[in-house]
Amino acid sequence: MEANVDFRSTLQQAFSEPGPSLVVVPIDYRENPILTRKLGELITANA
């Protein structure tokens, strides 16, 4: 998987395999504070 646009097709392929599959998802940890803030906003909005 080279880009996040490939994720859907990669995941579909993994689910179509007859046995277990491993999908390697690289994570850019620099995005962590942004994700944490957005998740906090979602939780607060839905509370």
Residue-wise pLDDT tens digits, 11-21:
999 999 999 99
Q: Would the pLDDT of 27 be above 80? A: no
Kindly list the domain boundaries of the chain, sorted by start residue.
4-46
Exposed/middle/buried for 11, CB within 10 Å: 0-12, 13-18, 19+? middle
Q: What is the share, in percent, of the chain residues with pLDDT greater than 70? A: 89
Structure tokens at 26: 């690289």
